Chain A
Amino acid sequence: MGKTLAEKVWEDHVVRSAAGEPDLLYIDLHLIHEVTSPQAFDGLRLSGRKVRRPELTLATEDHNVPTLDIDKPIADPVSRLQVDTLRKNCAEFGVRIHSLGDIEQGIVHVVGPQLGITQPGMTIVCGDSHTSTHGAFGALAFGIGTSEVEHVLATQTLPLTKPKMMAVNVEGKLKPGVTSKDIILAVIAQISTGGGQGYILEYRGSAIRELSMEARMTICNMSIEAGARAGLIAPDEITFEYIKGRPHAPKGADWDAALAYWKTLKSDADAKFDKEIFLNADELSPFVTWGTNPGQGVPLNDAVPIPESFGDEQERRAAESALVYMDLKAGTPMREIKIDTVFLGSCTNGRIEDLRSAAAIIKGKKVASNTRMLVVPGSARVRLQAEAEGLDKVFLEFGAEWRSAGCSMCLGMNPDQLKPGERSASTSNRNFEGRQGKGGRTHLVSPLVAAATAIKGTLASPADL
């Protein structure tokens, strides 16, 4: 019987397999940041252990760094200690780090692909659930907790039980104004936030094959929002073209050997998936969330749903409490919802294509009165590229704030937060209660919807302008 892509990558990394025990998998790349690593390094010190393979480990500062005044010491002493701790740990254990102010600094999931260090067929882990992003390259990539971070640091392996396999088939052609963000929000609305639990998702079909690497990363990024630890896409010419020539891409004979291997990385025609779901790309329109989990989304053309319309009692109760938190009335057209803050950024939609597509919509216009827009590039390089293209001026003339790279308002850990009761349209990945700041209300949107919303002051798509 044939194998799925994920099974092939899995099997290529098994160090040890024993009946009744998890497989021991080798980890090709371990990404690290300041929030989920300090206790892991402490653990190493306590047991007198070293980092087994520093040359397969890479650290960057992203979650808890400011996006203003990055040339000054971090104002919050607790945040400063956390960032300093990462720097000290990396120095002590010989780990490469890209600190604030470094040209390679940025959100860990933007930095890896940008360096060409994320490649097909790899196993990639990080103490961050959005590590699934790297699956866009046909890598098996997933988030881990701090105990596992310590395990990978010490052994370069991880004991894991093989998940089940789910195929997410997206056939057809996206209409103009519809993006990969809308695909993944529609997938999550279809299978719910728990639908992917215990599975690895493989996104397939004609609509996926046509996407750029950055658009594919947006989809894989939010696999965890469907409950799946990992999601991946078979590598193809678009993938190889993206990697070629990047700093850490293989060169010469290594490139040929790598390419020959990468071309084997696809699910066999007779591979068996434990579950399959289907989505028609032709029918998709811009998608937005109304509730407090990423599965609570509807097309922008629709209205806030009526809780009684949910057959499942748990879902009905969840909808009722979400409407209270979000201060929304059932039946309100989504387009009538007023937005205070538009956030463009994050590991989901903070790449150069995202900034370009939003800039093209707002160019020559002004931000709606009573609405503010925050633009946070995913990495220092994305910021520099955008500035080289003059996008910073487009955003600034529009009335948006142009910031330095980091996770920023996606998780509200640094000073970039919503105030209680404030409502955002955000290109990030989670609309959880209080995620972007205590009492803040989040609607997840694509960069195109974010841009149109910043112009109108209410949820909108470019077609509404």
Chain B
Amino acid sequence: MEKFISHTGTGVPLRRSNVDTDQIIPAVYLKRVTRSGFEDGLFAAWRSDPEFVLNKTEYQGGTILVAGVDFGTGSSREHAVWALQNYGFKVVISSRFADIFRGNSLKGGLLTVILPQEAVEELWLAIEADPKTSISVDLEKRTVSYGSKVISFELDDYTRWRLMEGLDDIGLTLRHTNLVEGFESKRANFKPKTLPVLS
């Protein structure tokens, strides 16, 4: 995973709450067996509307999506994270994310930042007033800043460290293989096994 230390870019205001994973990328776009190419499916149902925010010239090149509350509800599809990344987003800001989406994003290196709803609203207004507004997201300091504003956000130390180091969870867990083996040696006999096949 690529290290994430800080990112500076322009924002895209998505003034909608409850943007679920079927809206981020509908199921018909989930058929690929690769991790790339999902940008075509991003917000597919809305992309045909010229008024949709991603279609507006002033927001082209934006890398920070600023969305309404409860972003990413619904399915566990990590394709939602890949679609956002494939399209070019590095950060998503919202006042609340669905648990699975949030987990997926932080594992995949898409930084999801939780800000109070008032701060999201202010950021929307700032971006809409000037789409060129430069927004900096600093993971080391845990701040979002634009203009004269500096807003702190919370992220646990462990996740922050993992993102800043670009570490992959599997590698970290494999350091504890001895503990896994120890656990396995004490597992109850009655726990089911899928093999051999019984019917």
By a beta-carbon cutoff of 8 Å, the part of chain A in contact with chain B is 15-16, 20-22, 24, 26, 28-29, 35-36, 38-39, 42, 47, 49, 52, 54-58, 63-64, 76, 78-79, 81-82, 85, 96, 103-104, 115-117, 119, 122, 127-129, 131, 143-148, 150-151, 154-157, 159, 161, 163, 193-194, 197-198, 224, 227-229, 247-250, 254-255, 257-258, 261, 292-293, 314, 317-318, 321, 411-413, 430, 432-435, 438-439
Query: B45 on the interface (CB 8 Å rule)?
Result: yes
CB distance B158 to A293 under 8 Å?
A: no
Name which residue of chain B comes closest to A250, CB basis.
B190
Query: B96 on the interface (CB 8 Å rule)?
Result: yes
5 additional A-B pairs beyond A24-B176, A321-B16, beta carbons within 8 Å, are A36-B77, A96-B194, A151-B173, A227-B98, A430-B20
- In the complex, which residues of chain A have a beta carbon less than 8 angstroms from the beta carbon of B45? 433-434, 438-439
Query: B56 on the interface (CB 8 Å rule)?
Result: no
CB distance A55 to B194 under 8 Å?
A: yes
A314 to B117 alpha-carbon distance, docked (Å)? 10
- In the complex, which residues of chain A have a beta carbon less than 8 angstroms from the beta carbon of B69? 194, 314
Against A, the Cβ 8 Å flags (1 = close, 0 = not) of B172-184 are 1110110110011
- In the complex, which residues of chain B have a beta carbon less than 8 angstroms from the beta carbon of A439? 45
Q: Which of B31, B187, B199 has the most CB of A within 10 A?
A: B31
Our pick among A21, A96, A151, A412 for the contact of B170 (Cβ within 8 Å) is: A151
CB distance A78 to B76 under 8 Å?
A: no
CB distance A248 to B190 under 8 Å?
A: no
Our pick among A26, A146, A151, A412 for the contact of B27 (Cβ within 8 Å) is: A412
Identify the stretch in B6-14, B32-40, B128-136, B138-146 within 8 Å (CB) of chain A at 4 or more residues.
Answer: B32-40
Query: B149 on the interface (CB 8 Å rule)?
Result: no
Against A, the Cβ 8 Å flags (1 = close, 0 = not) of B78-103 are 11010000000000000010111001
CB distance A433 to B17 under 8 Å?
A: no
Q: Which of B22, B68, B79 has the most CB of A within 10 A?
A: B22
Q: A39-B34, A155-B173, A198-B99 are in contact. Are A318 and B22 (CB under 8 A)?
A: no
Query: How close is A79's CB to chain B, nearest CB, in angstroms?
Result: 6
CB distance B107 to A117 under 8 Å?
A: no
CB distance A104 to B35 under 8 Å?
A: no
- In the complex, which residues of chain B have a beta carbon less than 8 angstroms from the beta carbon of A115? 199
A305 to B136 alpha-carbon distance, docked (Å)? 41
Query: B166 on the interface (CB 8 Å rule)?
Result: no
Against A, the Cβ 8 Å flags (1 = close, 0 = not) of B42-64 are 00110000000000000000000
Query: How close is B124's CB to chain A, nearest CB, in angstroms?
Result: 13
Q: A82-B31, A145-B100, A197-B98 are in contact. Are A433 and B22 (CB under 8 A)?
A: yes
Q: A193-B73, A247-B199 are in contact. Are A147 and B108 (CB under 8 A)?
A: yes
- In the complex, which residues of chain A have a beta carbon less than 8 angstroms from the beta carbon of B188? 257-258, 261
- In the complex, which residues of chain B have a beta carbon less than 8 angstroms from the beta carbon of A157? 173, 180
A117 to B192 alpha-carbon distance, docked (Å)? 6
CB distance A85 to B33 under 8 Å?
A: yes
CB distance A257 to B193 under 8 Å?
A: no
CB distance B96 to A148 under 8 Å?
A: no
Q: A96-B194, A143-B100, A433-B45 are in contact. Are A193 and B76 (CB under 8 A)?
A: no
- In the complex, which residues of chain B have a beta carbon less than 8 angstroms from the beta carbon of A57? 194
Q: Mind listing 6 A-B residue pairs with CB under 8 Å?
A: A29-B192, A154-B170, A159-B173, A197-B99, A249-B192, A412-B26
CB distance A28 to B191 under 8 Å?
A: yes
A63 to B67 alpha-carbon distance, docked (Å)? 29
**Which residues in chain B, 116-170, are within 8 Å of chain A measured between CB atoms?**
117, 156-158, 169-170
- In the complex, which residues of chain A have a beta carbon less than 8 angstroms from the beta carbon of B195? 54-55, 96
CB distance A56 to B35 under 8 Å?
A: no
- In the complex, which residues of chain B have a beta carbon less than 8 angstroms from the beta carbon of A154? 170, 173-174
Query: How close is A55's CB to chain B, nearest CB, in angstroms?
Result: 4
- In the complex, which residues of chain B have a beta carbon less than 8 angstroms from the beta carbon of A116? 192
- In the complex, which residues of chain A have a beta carbon less than 8 angstroms from the beta carbon of B156? 20, 161
CB distance A314 to B76 under 8 Å?
A: no
A78 to B40 alpha-carbon distance, docked (Å)? 15
A292 to B22 alpha-carbon distance, docked (Å)? 11
Q: A24-B179, A56-B194 are in contact. Are A145 and B27 (CB under 8 A)?
A: no
CB distance B192 to A156 under 8 Å?
A: no
Q: A15-B179, A145-B100, A432-B23 are in contact. Are A155 and B35 (CB under 8 A)?
A: no
A63 to B31 alpha-carbon distance, docked (Å)? 10
Q: Which of A57, A163, A227 has the most CB of B within 10 A?
A: A227
Query: How close is A113's CB to chain B, nearest CB, in angstroms?
Result: 12
- In the complex, which residues of chain A have a beta carbon less than 8 angstroms from the beta carbon of B18? 193, 292-293, 318
For the complex of A and B, list the 5 residue pairs with the smallest distance between their C-beta atoms, beginning with the closest: A145-B104, A143-B76, A38-B33, A145-B78, A413-B27
A157 to B96 alpha-carbon distance, docked (Å)? 27
Our pick among A81, A122, A227, A247 for the contact of B191 (Cβ within 8 Å) is: A122
A362 to B198 alpha-carbon distance, docked (Å)? 36
A244 to B172 alpha-carbon distance, docked (Å)? 39
CB distance B169 to A104 under 8 Å?
A: no
Query: How close is A195's CB to chain B, nearest CB, in angstroms?
Result: 10
Q: Which of A35, A127, A150, A163 has the most CB of B within 10 A?
A: A35
CB distance A146 to B33 under 8 Å?
A: no
A78 to B37 alpha-carbon distance, docked (Å)? 14
- In the complex, which residues of chain B have a beta carbon less than 8 angstroms from the beta carbon of A321? 16
Name which residue of chain B comes closest to A411, CB basis.
B27
CB distance B176 to A15 under 8 Å?
A: yes
- In the complex, which residues of chain B have a beta carbon less than 8 angstroms from the beta carbon of A103? 199
